[in-house]
Amino acid sequence: MQPDLRTVQTGRPAASGDFALQQNKVLRNTYMLLALSLIPTAIGAAIGTNIDMSFIRTSPGLSLIGILVLFYGWIYAIERNKESSLGVVLLLGFTLFLGLLLGPLLHRTLGFSNGTELVMMAAGGTAAVFFVMAGVASSTKRNFSGLTNFLAVGSVVLMLGVVASLFVHSPVFYLVVLGAFVLFSSLMIMWQVNRIVQGGETNYISATLTLYISIYNLFSALLQLLGMGGRD
């Protein structure tokens, strides 16, 4: 195959400029959709905070199974339609659903005398971690694809930890699980943003889905940690 003349003259692939523009577009669209997804999340959280969802605590095992079925089923539907506008609609519906699930945790935390402060601290901590990890992933030339297998195994271990926490009623064990969620979610943010920058992810709906779940888990874990250690 004859080399492109522009590659010979400039010393870099002819399509490098187009590649950079494409990845910047994916990253920009991802951030825009991610910001938009916070609106239905807030709406869902407001609804969940003001309705009775005690049935989740009454049957935690069955509730967990039902939530996981909806959770992964919704993710599957989003991925199947990620090339169309229906994927965006499904994603926004998914964020509304997760916001609804966040309601009981927010309701319990806001019941503390310093509850509002704890929520703000968790939100601020989540934003700080996101910007730091996204900044590292965007500015470095290093490819973090080597973390893929580690994160895949980590997701399975975390899921097993969540299930085990239903039977192991130990505050220390639960703290370990929450701490693991904070670390895992932080690494997922860095990995996903780096994957976009390096060209491994070209679909902004899929990228937004991964980042949203990571941010959601990070905020939830931080809020629970603060609620356990910082309430009056």
Does the pLDDT at position 7 exceed 90? Answer: no
Q: For the whole model, what pTM was predicted?
A: 0.87
DSSP the chain: -PPPHHHHHHSS-TTHHHHHHHHHHHHHHHHHHHHHHHHHHHHHHHHHHTS--THHHHSHHHHHHHHHHHHHHHHHHHHHTTTSHHHHHHHHHHHHHHHHHHHHHHHHHHTSTTHHHHHHHHHHHHHHHHHHHHHHHHH----GGGGHHHHHHHHHHHHHHHHHHTT---HHHHHHHHHHHHHHHHHHHHHHHHHHHTTS---HHHHHHHHHHHHHHHHHHHHHHHHHHH--
Domain residue extents for the chain: 20-230
**% of the chain exceeding 90 in pLDDT:** 59
What average pLDDT does range 10-24 have in this prediction? 64
Summarised one tens digit per residue, pLDDT across range 83-117 is 999 999 999 999 999 999 999 899 899 989 899 99
Does pLDDT of 38 surpass 60?
A: yes
Q: Give yes or no for residue 130 having a pLDDT over 60.
A: yes
Q: What are the tens digits of pLDDT across the range 156-171?
A: 999 898 888 878 888 8
Mean pLDDT of the chain: 87
